[in-house]
Structure formats: structure tokens, C-alpha cells
Amino acid sequence: MSLMRSVLLAGSRSVWLREKAVKLRFVRRAVSRFMPGETLDDALNAARALREKRLGTVLSCLGENISDASEAESVARHYLDGMETVKRSGLDAEFSVKLTQLGLDLGAELALGHVDRLAARAGDHGRRLWIDIEDSRYTRATIDLYRRLRMTRANAGLCLQSYLRRTSADLESLIPLGAAIRLVKGAYKEPPDVAFPRKIDVDESYLSLSKRLLSAEARGRGAYAAFGTHDRDLIRRIEAHAAQTGVPKSAFEFELLYGIQPTEQIRLAESDNRVRVLISYGSFWFPWYMRRLAERPANVLFVARNMIGG
């Protein structure tokens, strides 16, 4: 892991830095490249513009590690109301949630209760509910909870990270459930015994997990793949593999983050792929933004240019 990436990921956990940085105008301006605004309305306006380009969306209200049950309740309420708003808007938008934002640190039962209500409401609207995956302290609890949820909520999807050494075994255990899996590389700072330290291994793992998800056996069991990556080489290899092995485009989708690789988003949609853009919103954006900087340290230059620009 590069020094810059380590420093940025360590910074993402600093409360002191968060309190200072969110007040700085140039930081707020730089963040707007990845986030259309702090409210659900801002996200929906961006979703409307993306719809013109045949891009669906996934919406996520930023927040993690809440420490009070009433906060988890109000996050759940926000998402339930948000689903009604989305339904009225007619937009093709789904939601993605973090379990620690729904109280996982306070107990799995609390988080399961909330996520079950959200999945039920999403199901009533004919939509999927996605569950993000956080750092490796939560992997086991997240997968266990997903397994329980999936028994009654067929519309629940889970994110898995290709950088984790355990993911191949996790995927094998989830395929028989007909799980919907969003595959990503992984955004957190992890020790080498937990996650592959070399990018080449993370990328190789991503491709091999993708092929497994697209296999006839996985699809036969009802598994669905969402490829959450901006890696154009990987995307092309997945597209080629799907075409060569006769996988229909309805069996998978690509998901990219708002503001990242917009031309690739359009190219994918124009090639008749299902594509969703994940739009984050909310005021708790600092740790999430630091992870975006860590993914591409050149982004730090962009922040610096905003600082010089005034």
C-alpha cells in the first residue's frame, strides 16, 4: 500500500481532521466533484440528469458507526421516506445502506430489524436493497446478517471486496442462496494477512470472482452480479468474458461512482449494458471522501488546485 494511501486512510478516521476539514470552503468545493449535494433532492436532481443518458442510480446517505439507537431509527426512517420519494419520482433508483449506520455496533438484531424493514419496503416497490461492506472488523457480522436477511428478502444484495483473502470462500457460500452480489475491490486500510497487499492480486481476484459470478452454475442458482469498478481494463475483460460465454446482459450490471469515469458510464450504457451510478449525499461525507482520495492520490492535486483557486 502506498504511503499516500495509508496516510489518507488513517486521516479518514480522524475526528479532529473531520471537524476542521468540513468547514473549509475549498474542501467543500473539491467534494462536489464526487457528490452533487448534501440532500436527497440534490441526489435526485443528479439522478434525473443521468436518466437522460440511460443511467440508473443507487442512492446512499452518508454515515457510519452511529452510537445511539435513536440515530439508527432516524436513519431507517430517512431511507423509508426516501423510498417513497423515489417511487413518486418514477426514477430507476435503488438504495444502498451501511449496517453500522443502522446500529450494527449496538447489536446485530437492531441492525437486522432496520435493514429488514428497508428491504421489505424496497421489495414492495420492486427494487433491490443493497448492503455496503465496511472494514474487515465487520465482514463476518455483515455476511451473517445478510444470510439471515436473504432467507426472506430475495431483493437484498450484498457488496463483497476482492481484496479480502476470505472473499472467494464467502462467495462460494453465498452462491447457493442465489445472492445478488456487488463486487468491489475494497476501500479500507487492511493488514496483509487479511487483504492482498499487491494491486495485481486484487485485480486478479476481482476477475476470477467475476467469472465465478457469471458462471452458468451461479446464474442457475439465481445469483446476480453488479460489477462496482471504474477499472476500464477489468470492465472490458468482463464484457468480453460475458460475450464469449453467452451470458445475457440481463444477468449483470455495472455500477460506478458519481463523478468518476463519466465517459465510461456512458459508453457502457450505449453498449446496451445495465449501468447504475452510485450517488452519495448527506453531511457526514469526510471519511467517505478521504477514501475516494486514497483510491487515486492524484485527486489530492485537485483539492490543492481548489485551495489555490480561493
Ligand X SMILES: Cc1cc2nc3c(=O)[nH]c(=O)nc-3n(C[C@H](O)[C@H](O)[C@H](O)COP(=O)(O)OP(=O)(O)OC[C@H]3O[C@@H](n4cnc5c(N)ncnc54)[C@H](O)[C@@H]3O)c2cc1C
Between 177 and 207, name the residue whose CB sits nearer to ligand X: 207
The distance of Cα 210 from the centroid of its chain, to the nearest Å, equals 16
Stretch that binds ligand X, among 39-47, 101-109, 242-250, 255-263 (CB under 6 A): 255-263
Among 273, 292, 303, 306, binds ligand X (CB under 6 A): 292
Considering only residues 46 to 75 of the shown chain, the ones binding ligand X according to CB under 6 A are none
The number of residues that bind ligand X (CB under 6 A) is: 23
Q: Which position among 38, 105, 116, 231 is part of the footprint of ligand X (CB under 6 A)?
A: 231
Q: How far is the C-alpha of 159 from the C-alpha of 130, rounded, in Å?
A: 7
> What b/e sequence results for 194-204 when a residue is b if at least 16 CB atoms lie within 10 Å of its CB, and e otherwise?
bbbeeeeebbe
Q: Are 27 and 303 in contact (CB under 8 A)?
A: yes
Q: How far is the CB of 59 from ligand X (least distance, A)?
A: 11
Please indicate whether residue 132 is annotated as part of the active site: yes
Reduce the DSSP state of residue 100 to 3 states and report it.
helix
Stretch that binds ligand X, among 108-116, 225-233, 235-243, 281-289 (CB under 6 A): 225-233
Does 230 contact ligand X by CB under 6 A?
yes
User: All 3 cell numbers of residue 218?
Assistant: 451461479
Q: Which of 132, 170, 203, 231 is catalytic?
A: 132
The yes or no reply on residue 132 touching ligand X (CB under 6 A) is yes
- The half-sphere exposure of 20 on its side-chain side, counting CA atoms within 13 A, is 6
**Sole binder of ligand X in the list 59, 175, 183, 278 (CB under 6 A):** 278
205 binds ligand X (CB under 6 A): no
Q: Give the alpha-carbon dihedral of 54, 60, 62, 67, to 10 degrees.
A: -170
Q: What is the DSSP string of 213-257?
A: HHSHHHHHTT-EEEEE---HHHHHHHHHHHHHTT--GGGEEEEEE
Q: Which residues belong to the active site?
A: 132, 182
Residues of the shown chain interacting with ligand X in the complex, contacts defined by CB under 6 A: 132-133, 159, 161, 184-188, 228-231, 255-257, 260-261, 278, 292, 295-296, 299
